[in-house]
A and B are shown apart, each in its own frame.
Chain A
């Protein structure tokens, strides 16, 4: 016996309306963030109390710049996936929910672009 509704069987999708992409993307970014986060904490500790020139020089190092970019991509992707679930759980009106999701996803993308731009500007000697 199947517990799926006839309509659900026809469409082949559950009430989430998508497959497992969201779940997997959240896990993959989570795994990536374990080493990246630990590296970032280590980096911030090594820069504790450092002045502008020291921090700029640190970010001009290609390895640090690349790891910062990877951290930014993984962080903001993971963040918008997580916040999406929070919004879907607590906001039930369809219109307001879609509005909140748009603002949150647009905001996340904007923050990610700003962070990545800042890293590149410093890294390229701006």
Chain B
């Protein structure tokens, strides 16, 4: 049997931009970013197991402006991936695929990820100030 004359789906640039496609690729991008973030988690744990000198080095790197910027990015990526992951789990039940619903749930995910990131950092700064 020959399948050579089957139609091909159009390439990405043919489609008009929609927010649902942006939400989709951001989910993948944040997933890959978080995979990079696990390197910091492993470094942090290994340093803790190694001793105070190693641990203080990690803390000083994380506490630098670049470290804090990475941490802020990872916080948002984590909350986005978490919230959008819950959106995906909801889709797995077969619900929420209507165009308006899928778009609106994406807006909710974006808003929630920003709000949760803000709350986390405000709490973190308050805690840091207390200690």
Contacts and interface: CB of A to CB of B under 8 A. Distances in A.
Contacts of B45: 68, 114-115, 118-119, 122
Contact of B1 (A5, A38, A115): A5
Given A5-B1, A37-B78, A118 B48 contact: yes
Interface of B: 1, 3, 28, 31-32, 34-35, 38-39, 41-42, 45-46, 48-49, 51-52, 55-56, 75, 78, 82, 85-86, 88-89, 92, 120, 123-124, 127-128, 131
A126 interface: yes
Dominant secondary structure at the A interface: helix
A60 to B, nearest CB: 11
Given A6-B1, A115-B45, A79 B120 contact: no
Given A33-B82, A115-B46, A121-B49, 4 more contacts: A38-B82, A50-B131, A52-B48, A114-B45
Contact of A126 (B39, B49, B75): B49
B39 A52 contact: no
Dominant secondary structure at the B interface: helix
A119 B48 CA distance: 9
Contact of A117 (B1, B3, B49, B85): B49
6 contacts: A41-B78, A45-B127, A52-B48, A55-B55, A118-B49, A119-B45
B44 to A, nearest CB: 9
A49 B1 contact: no
Nearest to B46: A118
B117 to A, nearest CB: 10
Contact of A122 (B31, B38, B48, B89): B48
A126 B45 CA distance: 13
